[in-house]
A and B are shown apart, each in its own frame.
Chain A
């Protein structure tokens, strides 16, 4: 058995909605007891529709939000940011990449500063060292050193997502949470970014938590799949298990809703249409 990087034990997250003049305060349980383990170098995909709690779970894993109940273990160490201060070493281990590369980069920050900032905040490296590392990282994600002094608006969506990936990798994390990293991108750019992610995973032995609602992407990238529905895990297993033999009705609905682009299903659709006309 290889080492386990990430483990969740019955993680729960409640949001408290404050009461108004007439409304009563209430509690929304966004994540209802999620448990899982993830080995080093593997990819766990979390699938579900908007509002199912998959991003909330992602934020808990990235130490942005505390869990309300349950235990989170990173590299075997339990951590609860509501109680303990997070050490810089902990912060360095987990990084996140957000869905919208247009929103997640500061428009007034040059790319060099974007990449240097995590080092500035978390390490004691000198400006020259930070610059050197940022340049190297730009090359690794398929951009060039000449991009160091440019601003985010000068890049396309795919390039910006590469910058976001580069920023996340600056602290050499062991775990990367990817919150819908390719759903804002075009098909061909999506393929490039997915290839890049696969290459980086091999090179740095990264562990990915891949949040997505696109099953065709999940089938391509994931080792293990977790399907969430209204805050609960309705299906959890290896990719082969989930895709070949979905158990829960919601998983089946998801499969049925995914557009099929094979010739046989197009034929079936056209014939159905002809019959209806």
Chain B
């Protein structure tokens, strides 16, 4: 069976005043349809950048190279930006971390939701309205018909994130990329959003990529996990074996930094781990 998204040896570099900075270095990654892949790492590990490269959302200062980057049979590397625009938003959609910041404050939720439908599905006004109400209902927003006329500032953070999800799934995408979808939210709301994402994924048979730094979120949602550190892949495993017997020392360090795994008075930190590593290797950190 062919993979939905397949990436081999992806590297992303940024031109900076002090030379090129490599944010992602030789990442291999693949997602099947109906699979939940989690990419875990600290900030600066290049987990978001890798996915932005797939979406073609990186600024001009970035150089993306890869041996293979295909989505659903399309080669994403040689594609023109016009072809890319047709796929991005329809077949691949992305949800960002800050729901308040990613919705346009000047337009109603309904307008922003219908914009996707107009652009990608070429629906007429009536059909768009109907579909928009349907979508808001699907993501669990009460009184959807009235809510279409609300502006983002009139809704709570959790509701805005639901609207973002509604926009992302509006065209029944084959792949949904969620970049830290719950980091800005409370635990009770986080639980609702995660449940919603997993439910939609199962019902629509989507592939889902969860980008997160929260091991708890990984444990609650993922089938397979990639652990990334400083732009490199440290480990790839299915979720159970990752938590049961992490192979990479970095993964072990991440897991032991969880407050619930604290032994004694101190939490072990990843910095401690890097120091030990360096000491064992006999080089300075």
* Candidates B187, B265, B267; contact of A191 at CB < 8 Å: B267
Check if A191 sits within 8 Å of B257, measured CB to CB.
Answer: yes
Determine how close the nearest CB of chain A comes to the CB of B106; give it in whole angstroms: 22
Check if B260 sits within 8 Å of A267, measured CB to CB.
Answer: no
Which residues of the partner chain B approach A195 to less than 8 Å between Cβ atoms? Answer: 266-267, 269
Check if B188 sits within 8 Å of A187, measured CB to CB.
Answer: no
Stretch in contact with the other chain, from A4-12, A17-25, A255-263: A255-263
- Considering the chains assembled together, what is the distance between the CA atoms of A157 and B42 in angstroms? 12
Interface size class of A (residues with CB under 8 A): 35 or more
Check if A269 sits within 8 Å of B220, measured CB to CB.
Answer: yes
Which residues of the partner chain B approach A220 to less than 8 Å between Cβ atoms? Answer: 259-260, 262, 267
Check if B186 sits within 8 Å of A213, measured CB to CB.
Answer: yes
Determine how close the nearest CB of chain B comes to the CB of A189; give it in whole angstroms: 7
Which residues of the partner chain B approach A276 to less than 8 Å between Cβ atoms? Answer: 202
1/0 per position for A243-277, CB-CB distance to B under 8 A? Answer: 00000000001101111111101110110010011
* Known contacts A189-B42, A214-B187; A263 and B240 CB within 8 A of each other: yes
Check if B42 sits within 8 Å of A188, measured CB to CB.
Answer: yes
Check if B259 sits within 8 Å of A188, measured CB to CB.
Answer: no
1/0 per position for B239-272, CB-CB distance to A under 8 A? Answer: 1100110000000011101111010011111110
Interface of B is mostly: helix
Which residues of the partner chain B approach A191 to less than 8 Å between Cβ atoms? Answer: 257, 259, 267-270
1/0 per position for A186-210, CB-CB distance to B under 8 A? Answer: 1111111011001000000000000
Check if A49 sits within 8 Å of B186, measured CB to CB.
Answer: yes
Check if B259 sits within 8 Å of A267, measured CB to CB.
Answer: no
Interface residues in B189-206 by Cβ distance below 8 A to A read 189-191, 194, 202
Which residues of the partner chain B approach A221 to less than 8 Å between Cβ atoms? Answer: 259
Interface residues on chain B, number (Cβ under 8 Å) = 39
Least CB separation from B42: chain A residue: A186
Which residues of the partner chain B approach A73 to less than 8 Å between Cβ atoms? Answer: none
Check if B188 sits within 8 Å of A253, measured CB to CB.
Answer: yes
Whether a CB of chain A sits under 8 angstroms from the CB of B10 is no
Which residues of the partner chain B approach A253 to less than 8 Å between Cβ atoms? Answer: 188
Whether a CB of chain A sits under 8 angstroms from the CB of B138 is no
- Besides A216-B216, A266-B219, A266-B240, 8 more A-B contacts (Cβ < 8 Å) are A220-B262, A253-B188, A256-B191, A257-B188, A257-B190, A258-B216, A263-B240, A263-B244
**What are 10 A-B interface contacts by the 8 Å CB criterion?**
A50-B186, A191-B257, A198-B266, A213-B186, A259-B190, A259-B216, A259-B220, A260-B219, A273-B202, A276-B202
B residues whose Cβ falls under 8 Å from a Cβ of A = 42-43, 157, 186-191, 194, 202, 213-220, 223, 239-240, 243-244, 253-255, 257-260, 262, 265-271
